[in-house]
Protein backbone atom coordinates (compact mmCIF):
# COMPACT_ATOMS: atom_id res chain seq x y z
CA UNK A 1 0.00 0.00 0.00
CA UNK A 2 2.56 2.56 1.08
CA UNK A 3 4.79 1.68 -1.86
CA UNK A 4 2.07 3.03 -4.14
CA UNK A 5 1.83 6.29 -2.22
CA UNK A 6 3.14 9.38 -4.00
CA UNK A 7 6.46 10.70 -2.81
CA UNK A 8 6.37 14.12 -1.17
CA UNK A 9 9.83 15.67 -1.01
CA UNK A 10 10.09 18.27 1.72
CA UNK A 11 12.79 20.93 1.50
CA UNK A 12 13.10 22.10 5.08
CA UNK A 13 15.37 23.15 7.89
CA UNK A 14 12.76 22.53 10.63
CA UNK A 15 10.25 19.79 9.86
CA UNK A 16 6.73 21.03 9.07
CA UNK A 17 3.97 20.19 11.54
CA UNK A 18 0.79 18.32 10.61
CA UNK A 19 2.29 16.08 7.92
CA UNK A 20 1.87 13.08 10.20
CA UNK A 21 -1.74 12.96 9.15
CA UNK A 22 -0.59 11.92 5.67
CA UNK A 23 1.01 8.70 6.96
CA UNK A 24 -0.04 5.84 4.69
CA UNK A 25 -1.23 8.24 2.02
CA UNK A 26 2.08 9.83 1.11
CA UNK A 27 5.71 8.88 1.38
CA UNK A 28 7.34 11.86 3.07
CA UNK A 29 11.02 12.37 2.27
CA UNK A 30 12.96 15.23 3.83
CA UNK A 31 15.89 16.86 2.14
CA UNK A 32 18.28 19.70 2.68
CA UNK A 33 19.50 21.99 -0.09
CA UNK A 34 22.59 19.89 -0.79
CA UNK A 35 20.60 16.76 -1.64
CA UNK A 36 17.69 18.44 -3.40
CA UNK A 37 18.96 17.92 -6.96
CA UNK A 38 19.50 14.18 -6.57
CA UNK A 39 16.09 13.63 -4.95
CA UNK A 40 13.89 15.84 -7.12
CA UNK A 41 13.57 13.42 -10.07
CA UNK A 42 11.97 10.72 -7.87
CA UNK A 43 9.51 13.09 -6.19
CA UNK A 44 5.87 13.39 -7.19
CA UNK A 45 5.39 16.48 -5.08
CA UNK A 46 7.83 19.08 -3.78
CA UNK A 47 6.93 20.98 -0.63
CA UNK A 48 9.18 24.04 -0.32
CA UNK A 49 8.84 24.48 3.41
CA UNK A 50 12.08 26.44 3.74
CA UNK A 51 10.88 29.41 1.74
CA UNK A 52 14.16 31.25 2.37
CA UNK A 53 15.97 28.76 0.13
CA UNK A 54 16.72 29.50 -3.50
CA UNK A 55 17.92 25.94 -4.09
CA UNK A 56 14.96 24.90 -6.24
CA UNK A 57 16.11 27.19 -9.03
CA UNK A 58 19.48 25.48 -9.33
CA UNK A 59 18.22 21.97 -8.66
CA UNK A 60 15.24 21.93 -10.98
CA UNK A 61 15.72 18.97 -13.34
CA UNK A 62 14.67 20.72 -16.56
CA UNK A 63 13.07 18.24 -18.97
CA UNK A 64 13.98 15.23 -16.85
CA UNK A 65 11.72 13.41 -14.41
CA UNK A 66 10.33 15.95 -12.01
CA UNK A 67 7.54 16.62 -9.49
CA UNK A 68 4.12 17.21 -10.98
CA UNK A 69 3.29 19.67 -8.22
CA UNK A 70 5.36 22.17 -6.23
CA UNK A 71 3.85 23.90 -3.18
CA UNK A 72 5.62 26.70 -1.35
CA UNK A 73 4.79 27.62 2.25
CA UNK A 74 4.92 31.31 1.35
CA UNK A 75 2.95 33.92 -0.53
CA UNK A 76 5.80 34.86 -2.85
CA UNK A 77 7.26 32.40 -5.35
CA UNK A 78 10.25 34.47 -6.43
CA UNK A 79 12.65 32.16 -4.57
CA UNK A 80 11.79 29.14 -6.68
CA UNK A 81 10.70 30.35 -10.11
CA UNK A 82 13.08 29.68 -12.99
CA UNK A 83 12.55 29.45 -16.77
CA UNK A 84 12.59 25.64 -16.75
CA UNK A 85 9.95 25.42 -14.03
CA UNK A 86 7.87 28.08 -15.75
CA UNK A 87 8.05 26.18 -19.06
CA UNK A 88 7.20 22.81 -17.53
CA UNK A 89 3.74 21.35 -16.93
CA UNK A 90 4.39 21.24 -13.18
CA UNK A 91 1.73 23.02 -11.16
CA UNK A 92 2.95 25.54 -8.58
CA UNK A 93 0.78 26.59 -5.63
CA UNK A 94 1.35 29.06 -2.81
CA UNK A 95 0.12 29.73 0.71
CA UNK A 96 -2.60 32.22 -0.20
CA UNK A 97 -4.94 32.68 2.74
CA UNK A 98 -2.41 32.39 5.57
CA UNK A 99 -0.57 35.70 5.61
CA UNK A 100 -3.11 38.31 4.49
CA UNK A 101 -4.59 39.43 7.80
CA UNK A 102 -1.34 39.18 9.82
CA UNK A 103 0.55 41.31 7.29
CA UNK A 104 -2.31 43.82 7.15
CA UNK A 105 -2.28 44.14 10.94
CA UNK A 106 1.47 44.55 10.88
CA UNK A 107 1.23 47.41 8.40
CA UNK A 108 -1.51 49.03 10.48
CA UNK A 109 0.74 48.68 13.53
CA UNK A 110 3.61 50.45 11.76
CA UNK A 111 1.40 53.25 10.41
CA UNK A 112 -0.15 53.91 13.81
CA UNK A 113 3.11 53.59 15.75
CA UNK A 114 4.84 56.05 13.43
CA UNK A 115 1.89 58.47 13.43
CA UNK A 116 1.88 58.41 17.23
CA UNK A 117 5.70 58.74 17.41
CA UNK A 118 6.00 55.60 19.51
CA UNK A 119 9.69 54.90 18.74
CA UNK A 120 10.59 58.34 20.11
CA UNK A 121 8.38 57.79 23.15
CA UNK A 122 10.33 54.62 23.92
CA UNK A 123 13.62 56.49 23.44
CA UNK A 124 12.52 59.25 25.83
CA UNK A 125 11.48 56.60 28.34
CA UNK A 126 14.98 55.11 28.29
CA UNK A 127 16.27 58.59 29.21
CA UNK A 128 13.59 59.11 31.89
CA UNK A 129 12.53 62.28 30.10
CA UNK A 130 8.98 63.62 29.88
CA UNK A 131 8.70 65.27 26.46
CA UNK A 132 5.15 66.03 25.45
CA UNK A 133 4.70 66.02 21.66
CA UNK A 134 1.87 66.52 19.24
CA UNK A 135 1.33 63.57 16.94
CA UNK A 136 -0.52 62.77 13.75
CA UNK A 137 -4.07 61.70 13.28
CA UNK A 138 -4.21 58.66 11.02
CA UNK A 139 -7.82 59.18 9.92
CA UNK A 140 -7.89 61.25 6.76
CA UNK A 141 -4.28 60.55 5.76
CA UNK A 142 -3.56 58.99 2.36
CA UNK A 143 -2.00 55.61 1.69
CA UNK A 144 -0.89 54.11 -1.60
CA UNK A 145 -0.68 50.31 -1.44
CA UNK A 146 1.37 48.79 -4.24
CA UNK A 147 0.42 45.19 -5.02
CA UNK A 148 -3.18 44.26 -5.64
CA UNK A 149 -3.06 40.63 -4.55
CA UNK A 150 -4.84 39.36 -1.44
CA UNK A 151 -2.19 40.81 0.88
CA UNK A 152 -2.39 44.28 -0.68
CA UNK A 153 -6.16 44.14 -0.55
CA UNK A 154 -6.11 43.08 3.11
CA UNK A 155 -3.80 46.02 3.87
CA UNK A 156 -6.28 48.35 2.17
CA UNK A 157 -9.12 46.94 4.27
CA UNK A 158 -7.17 47.38 7.51
CA UNK A 159 -6.15 50.95 6.69
CA UNK A 160 -9.67 51.85 5.56
CA UNK A 161 -10.96 50.58 8.90
CA UNK A 162 -8.73 53.24 10.48
CA UNK A 163 -10.30 55.83 8.15
CA UNK A 164 -7.16 56.13 6.03
CA UNK A 165 -7.89 57.03 2.40
CA UNK A 166 -6.34 54.32 0.29
CA UNK A 167 -5.37 53.78 -3.33
CA UNK A 168 -4.39 50.34 -4.59
CA UNK A 169 -1.98 49.84 -7.50
CA UNK A 170 -1.69 46.61 -9.49
CA UNK A 171 -0.18 45.38 -12.71
CA UNK A 172 -3.32 46.05 -14.71
CA UNK A 173 -5.93 48.73 -13.99
CA UNK A 174 -9.37 47.39 -13.16
CA UNK A 175 -12.28 48.35 -10.95
CA UNK A 176 -10.92 49.77 -7.71
CA UNK A 177 -7.32 49.15 -8.75
CA UNK A 178 -5.00 51.63 -10.42
CA UNK A 179 -2.49 50.58 -13.07
CA UNK A 180 1.22 51.36 -13.09
CA UNK A 181 0.65 54.60 -15.03
CA UNK A 182 -0.96 56.11 -11.92
CA UNK A 183 1.82 55.05 -9.56
CA UNK A 184 3.98 58.19 -9.55
CA UNK A 185 0.96 60.46 -9.17
CA UNK A 186 -0.42 58.40 -6.28
CA UNK A 187 2.83 58.02 -4.33
CA UNK A 188 3.52 61.74 -4.77
CA UNK A 189 0.48 62.57 -2.63
CA UNK A 190 0.62 59.67 -0.18
CA UNK A 191 1.46 59.89 3.50
CA UNK A 192 2.08 56.14 3.52
CA UNK A 193 3.50 54.15 0.62
CA UNK A 194 3.17 50.41 1.21
CA UNK A 195 5.02 47.88 -0.95
CA UNK A 196 3.21 44.54 -1.00
CA UNK A 197 3.79 43.39 -4.58
CA UNK A 198 5.20 40.07 -5.70
CA UNK A 199 8.82 40.18 -6.80
CA UNK A 200 8.93 39.74 -10.57
CA UNK A 201 10.98 41.15 -13.43
CA UNK A 202 8.50 44.01 -13.61
CA UNK A 203 8.67 44.89 -9.91
CA UNK A 204 12.40 44.36 -9.32
CA UNK A 205 13.74 47.54 -7.67
CA UNK A 206 10.62 49.48 -8.63
CA UNK A 207 11.24 51.65 -5.56
CA UNK A 208 14.29 53.50 -6.80
CA UNK A 209 15.79 56.99 -6.75
CA UNK A 210 13.05 58.27 -9.05
CA UNK A 211 10.22 56.86 -6.93
CA UNK A 212 11.66 58.07 -3.60
CA UNK A 213 12.24 61.40 -5.34
CA UNK A 214 8.56 61.97 -6.10
CA UNK A 215 7.40 61.00 -2.61
CA UNK A 216 6.72 63.86 -0.20
CA UNK A 217 9.12 64.89 2.61
CA UNK A 218 6.45 63.74 5.08
CA UNK A 219 5.99 60.33 3.41
CA UNK A 220 6.67 57.06 5.19
CA UNK A 221 7.59 53.99 3.14
CA UNK A 222 6.87 50.41 4.24
CA UNK A 223 8.07 47.23 2.52
CA UNK A 224 6.36 44.00 3.53
CA UNK A 225 6.72 42.42 0.08
CA UNK A 226 10.18 41.32 -0.93
CA UNK A 227 13.55 43.00 -0.48
CA UNK A 228 14.10 43.01 -4.23
CA UNK A 229 11.30 45.54 -4.70
CA UNK A 230 13.59 48.22 -3.28
CA UNK A 231 16.85 49.72 -4.45
CA UNK A 232 18.27 49.81 -0.95
CA UNK A 233 21.05 52.25 -1.81
CA UNK A 234 18.46 54.65 -3.21
CA UNK A 235 16.46 54.33 0.01
CA UNK A 236 19.55 55.04 2.10
CA UNK A 237 20.19 58.22 0.11
CA UNK A 238 16.52 59.28 0.24
CA UNK A 239 16.49 58.96 4.04
CA UNK A 240 19.88 60.63 4.48
CA UNK A 241 18.76 63.55 2.32
CA UNK A 242 15.34 63.70 4.01
CA UNK A 243 13.53 63.17 0.72
CA UNK A 244 11.10 61.12 2.81
CA UNK A 245 10.40 61.16 6.54
CA UNK A 246 11.02 57.52 7.30
CA UNK A 247 10.64 53.90 6.32
CA UNK A 248 10.12 50.43 7.73
CA UNK A 249 11.60 47.39 6.02
CA UNK A 250 10.54 43.89 6.99
CA UNK A 251 12.27 42.34 3.96
CA UNK A 252 15.71 42.88 2.49
CA UNK A 253 17.79 42.07 -0.55
CA UNK A 254 19.92 39.87 1.72
CA UNK A 255 18.30 38.06 4.65
CA UNK A 256 19.16 37.87 7.47
CA UNK A 257 20.35 41.45 7.17
CA UNK A 258 24.13 41.39 7.82
CA UNK A 259 25.17 42.87 11.16
CA UNK A 260 27.34 45.47 9.43
CA UNK A 261 24.62 46.73 7.09
CA UNK A 262 24.20 50.52 7.22
CA UNK A 263 20.43 49.96 7.30
CA UNK A 264 20.48 49.04 11.00
CA UNK A 265 21.41 52.57 12.04
CA UNK A 266 19.85 54.65 9.30
CA UNK A 267 17.91 57.52 10.92
CA UNK A 268 14.20 57.14 10.35
CA UNK A 269 14.38 53.48 9.36
CA UNK A 270 12.70 50.65 11.29
CA UNK A 271 14.28 47.25 10.59
CA UNK A 272 12.35 44.06 11.35
CA UNK A 273 13.34 40.46 10.62
CA UNK A 274 10.86 39.29 7.92
CA UNK A 275 8.14 38.53 10.42
CA UNK A 276 5.12 40.57 9.36
CA UNK A 277 3.01 37.55 8.47
CA UNK A 278 4.19 35.17 11.14
CA UNK A 279 1.61 35.14 13.90
CA UNK A 280 1.45 32.38 16.53
CA UNK A 281 0.27 29.17 14.87
CA UNK A 282 1.37 30.18 11.38
CA UNK A 283 3.48 27.02 10.93
CA UNK A 284 0.53 24.87 11.97
CA UNK A 285 -1.70 26.73 9.53
CA UNK A 286 0.85 26.28 6.73
CA UNK A 287 1.16 22.56 7.50
CA UNK A 288 -2.60 22.09 7.61
CA UNK A 289 -2.97 23.98 4.34
CA UNK A 290 -0.51 21.63 2.62
CA UNK A 291 -2.35 18.58 3.96
CA UNK A 292 -5.63 19.97 2.63
CA UNK A 293 -4.13 20.69 -0.78
CA UNK A 294 -2.47 17.28 -0.85
CA UNK A 295 -5.78 15.57 -0.25
CA UNK A 296 -7.31 17.44 -3.17
CA UNK A 297 -4.34 16.65 -5.38
CA UNK A 298 -4.33 12.97 -4.46
CA UNK A 299 -8.05 12.78 -5.24
CA UNK A 300 -7.44 14.31 -8.64
CA UNK A 301 -9.41 17.44 -7.78
CA UNK A 302 -8.27 20.85 -9.01
CA UNK A 303 -5.90 22.76 -6.73
CA UNK A 304 -6.57 26.29 -5.48
CA UNK A 305 -3.80 28.92 -5.20
CA UNK A 306 -2.29 27.98 -8.57
CA UNK A 307 0.51 30.34 -9.53
CA UNK A 308 0.60 31.89 -13.00
CA UNK A 309 4.20 30.90 -13.62
CA UNK A 310 4.69 33.51 -16.32
CA UNK A 311 3.51 36.36 -14.15
CA UNK A 312 5.02 35.00 -10.95
CA UNK A 313 1.97 35.10 -8.68
CA UNK A 314 -1.53 33.74 -8.24
CA UNK A 315 -3.72 35.89 -10.49
CA UNK A 316 -6.58 37.35 -8.55
CA UNK A 317 -9.82 38.89 -8.80
Chain residues that interact with its own copies, rule: CB under 8 A:
101-102, 105-106, 108-110, 112-113, 115-116, 118-119, 121-122, 124-125, 128-139, 158, 161-162, 255-257, 259-261, 264-265, 270-275, 278-282
Active site (annotated) includes residue 178:
no
Q: Determine the Cα–Cα distance for residues 12 and 48; give it in Å rounded to an integer.
A: 7
Residue 91 or 143: the one with the smaller Cβ distance to its own copies is 143
* Catalytic, out of 58, 163, 255, 292: 255
- From the list 27, 79, 274, 285, the catalytic residue is 274
Distance CA 191, CA 244 (A): 10
**Is residue 39 within 8 Å of 60, Cβ to Cβ?**
no
Integer angstrom CA distances of residue 262 from 99, 103, 232 = 29, 25, 10
226 is annotated as an active-site residue:
yes
| Whether 255 is catalytic | yes
Q: What's the closest the beta carbon of residue 300 comes to its own copies, in angstroms? A: 35
Q: What burial letters (b/e) apply to 167-189, b meaning 16+ CB within 10 Å?
A: bbbbbeeeeebbeeeebeebbee
Exposed / middle / buried, residue 25 (Cβ in 10 Å: 0-12, 13-18, 19+):
middle
Whole-number minimum distance, CB 281 to its own copies, in Å? Answer: 8
Q: How far is the CB of 273 from its own copies (least distance, A)?
A: 5
Q: What are phi and psi of 168, to 5 degrees?
A: -115, 135
**Distance, CA of 115 to CA of 121 (rounded, Å):** 12
Specify the residue, 162 or 306, whose C-beta has the smaller distance to its own copies: 162
Tell me how long the chain is: 317
Closer of 133 and 317 to its own copies (Cβ): 133
Which of these is catalytic: 66, 226, 232, 285? 226
Min CB(14)–its own copies separation in Å: 12
Q: How far is the CB of 126 from its own copies (least distance, A)?
A: 8
CB nearer to its own copies: pick between 209 and 216: 216
Shorter beta-carbon distance to its own copies: residue 21 or 101? 101
Closest alpha carbon to 223 in 183, 199, 250: 250
**How far is C-alpha 194 from the chain's CA centre?**
12
The residues annotated as belonging to the active site are: 226, 255, 274
Amino acid sequence: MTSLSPTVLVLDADPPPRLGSLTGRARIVHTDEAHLAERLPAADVLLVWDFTSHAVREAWPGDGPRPRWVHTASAGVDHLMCPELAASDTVVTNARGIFEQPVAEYVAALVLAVAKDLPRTLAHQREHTWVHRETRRVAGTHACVVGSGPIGRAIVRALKALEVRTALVGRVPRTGIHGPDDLDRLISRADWVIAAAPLTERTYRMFDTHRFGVMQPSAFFVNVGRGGLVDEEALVRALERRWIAGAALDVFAAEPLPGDSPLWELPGLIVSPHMSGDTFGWRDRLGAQFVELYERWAAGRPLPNVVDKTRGYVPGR
